[in-house]
């Protein structure tokens, strides 16, 4: 290019840049508010199975006005609350976002680590207890909200709300503000990581004791019981806190000491969550400023009810019907205060769920329930015999990992990889175990190339996962507390990986998409819409149907 022509080109280029800086064309097209909705334990088939029960303003609004992905599956094996929320917020898997599970074993301290614990910060106005220091410290990736805050020079505001602390903290990221429900006080709380003291509006909301308004309420069915899919009483359910097994379920029957905890096992828990989230929306004036704000809400009740009664229960079905009404109320308020036309909404779930194993067995499937104390005793006995020691070599189990006592391995003069191989052989002897792989194999990438092992590899974290990772047989319940719940998730099987994904908002044309996609794709899609860099751990691919033809 000749010097004169280059000079003219350069002047035009600078003029173009200047015009973009002075008049950010994309800014007018960007949403005023990003609304991230996570429905805990909402398997992918549920919105369609119960669509005939929905009104027009909740799930139906999203299905009729958004891009609905009916074939979305997580690409990791550890399908638990913390891991799913982290993937939704970051677009990454275990090695990228750092969450090896809801809990894991710390090799350095020999102690349990809870996914969002941080002993540097306590819940405001409360003394620190074990595992009660709270922050997003263990999240190793940035999130959608973090990148939005960074891209706007800290002008965008990000808030996150959930009954569960991990359901609020992980979507809120490092730069947002998170609030969660206290089952001891009925208040929404936060930690000194976020504030030195509660905002005045939070103090006022808590002072009103709004969660107490449900003490005289009764959870009754929305329709005649015989119209529900599974209306026969389930003898394997595990109701919480004194609540009735049958309908109606009066809240006055709950153990007074467990009342706030019992709210989580009724639709009222999501109603309380919404009440607080709407107060936050109004008092913080989200979506009212010159920059895009973000509000993440995780509705947790579906998970609690699914665990207590099973995903195929009347309780679960009726809760979905009531959640539809809760979503409708949320969208009405968003439309009034911000405008749905100005709001990017995306809804998904952190994991799916299978039937209660005893119910599955009654249908003729080989289903069962693992008792960790029994298989730990069995594998330790096998290793002790091999290595002629009376001390246990396996010191911890946290889904899906077994952890070795590395000091004892060293004391015995053994190679860690050799003991891992032996442990792998021992755990495979346990009925109800499908496959197992060692830490050494995963570090080397020396695993079979098949769908299950690929998911296991993606879940592996080099510092936090155990010495042997194993996968239970299909339909088997696996959790440190074998009898705490009726049903459990956490496997790489389709019933646990399957979740819905729906996007609705400005410039999004309604359609149903059946191709295979993953929740890992959400973060990079939102980044494209907002014009931000994807979160640092993002491995997903933007969803072209959502992006369409954008300015």
Q: Which residues are catalytic?
A: 81
Strands 188-189 and 177-181: what pairing? Answer: antiparallel
In the beta sheet, which residues pair with residue 435?
471
Rounded Cα distance between 479 and 492, Å, is 14
Closest by alpha carbon to 193, among 135, 261, 267?
135
Rounded Cα distance between 306 and 289, Å, is 39
Q: What is the CA radius of gyration of the chain?
A: 24
- Tokens 């929306």 belong to 281
Closest by alpha carbon to 519, among 77, 67, 72?
72
DSSP state of 533: P
Rounded Cα distance between 57 and 270, Å, is 17
In the beta sheet, which residues pair with residue 501?
69
Rounded Cα distance between 353 and 283, Å, is 36
Rounded Cα distance between 5 and 13, Å, is 12
* Burial class of 20 by CB neighbour count within 10 A (0 to 12, 13 to 18, 19+): exposed
Cβ atoms of 327 and 301 within 8 Å: the answer is: no
Rounded Cα distance between 120 and 520, Å, is 31
User: Residue 255, preceding bond cis, omega within 30 degrees?
Assistant: no
Rounded Cα distance between 99 and 86, Å, is 7
**What distances in angstroms separate CA 94 from CA 78, 418, 461, one per listed residue?**
9, 25, 6
Neighbours of 154 (CB within 10 A): 10
Rounded Cα distance between 404 and 105, Å, is 10
- Tokens 């947790």 belong to 300
Strands 476-477 and 511-513: what pairing? Answer: unpaired
Tokens matching residue 152 = 């706007």
Residue 308, SS3 per DSSP: helix
Neighbours of 11 (CB within 10 A): 10
Rounded Cα distance between 61 and 66, Å, is 8
Cβ atoms of 352 and 79 within 8 Å: the answer is: yes
In the beta sheet, which residues pair with residue 35?
295, 345
- Tokens 């969803």 belong to 543
112-116-121-126 Cα dihedral, nearest 10 degrees: -90
């Amino acid at each position: 290019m000749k010097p004169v022509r280059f000079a003219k080109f350069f002047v035009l280029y600078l003029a173009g840049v200047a015009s973009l800086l002075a008049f950010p064309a994309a800014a007018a097209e960007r949403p005023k508010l990003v609304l991230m909705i996570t429905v805990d334990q909402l398997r992918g088939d549920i919105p369609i199975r119960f669509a005939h029960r929905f009104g027009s303003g909740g799930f139906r609004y999203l299905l009729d006005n958004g891009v609905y992905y009916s074939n979305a599956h997580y690409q990791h094996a550890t399908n638990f609350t913390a891991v799913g929320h982290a993937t939704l917020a970051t677009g990454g898997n275990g090695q990228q976002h750092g969450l090896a599970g809801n809990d894991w074993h710390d090799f350095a301290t020999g102690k349990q680590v809870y996914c969002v614990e941080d002993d540097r910060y306590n819940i405001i106005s409360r003394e620190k207890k074990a595992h009660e220091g709270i922050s997003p410290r263990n999240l190793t990736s940035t999130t959608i909200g973090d990148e939005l805050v960074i891209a706007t020079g800290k002008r965008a505001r990000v808030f996150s709300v959930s009954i569960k602390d991990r359901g609020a903290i992980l979507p809120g990221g490092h730069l947002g503000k998170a609030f969660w429900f206290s089952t001891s006080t009925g208040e929404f709380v936060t930690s000194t990581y976020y504030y030195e003291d509660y905002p005045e509006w939070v103090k006022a909301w808590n002072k009103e004791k709004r969660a107490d308004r449900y003490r005289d309420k009764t959870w009754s069915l929305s329709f005649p019981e015989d119209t529900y899919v599974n209306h026969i009483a389930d003898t394997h359910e595990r109701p919480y806190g004194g609540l009735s097994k049958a309908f109606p379920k009066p809240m006055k029957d709950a153990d007074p000491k467990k009342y706030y905890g019992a709210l989580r096992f009724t639709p009222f828990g999501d109603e309380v969550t919404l009440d607080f989230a709407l107060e936050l929306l109004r008092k913080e004036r989200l979506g009212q400023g010159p920059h895009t704000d973000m509000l993440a809400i995780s509705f947790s009740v579906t998970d609690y009810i699914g665990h207590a009664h099973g995903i195929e229960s009347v309780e679960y079905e009726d809760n979905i019907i009531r959640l539809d009404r809760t979503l409708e109320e949320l969208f009405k308020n968003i439309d009034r205060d911000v405008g749905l036309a100005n709001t990017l909404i995306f809804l998904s779930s952190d994991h799916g769920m299978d039937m209660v194993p005893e119910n599955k067995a009654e249908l003729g499937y080989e289903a069962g329930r693992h008792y960790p104390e029994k298989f730990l005793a069995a594998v330790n006995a096998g290793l002790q015999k091999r290595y002629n020691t009376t001390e246990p070599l396996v010191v911890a189990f946290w889904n899906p990992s077994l952890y070795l006592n590395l000091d004892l391995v060293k004391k015995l003069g053994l190679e860690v990889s050799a003991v891992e191989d032996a442990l792998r052989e021992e755990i495979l002897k346990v009925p109800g175990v499908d496959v197992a792989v060692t830490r050494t194999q995963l570090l080397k990438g020396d695993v079979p190339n098949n769908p299950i092992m690929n998911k296991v590899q993606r879940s592996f974290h080099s510092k936090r996962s155990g010495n042997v990772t194993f996968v239970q047989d299909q339909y088997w319940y696996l959790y440190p507390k074998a009898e705490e719940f009726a049903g459990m998730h956490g496997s790489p099987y389709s019933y646990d990986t399957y979740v819905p994904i729906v996007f609705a908002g400005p410039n999004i044309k309604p359609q149903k998409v059946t191709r295979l996609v993953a929740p890992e794709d959400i973060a990079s899609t939102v980044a494209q819409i907002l014009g931000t860099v994807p979160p640092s751990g993002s491995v997903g691919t933007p969803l072209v149907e959502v992006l369409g033809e954008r300015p």
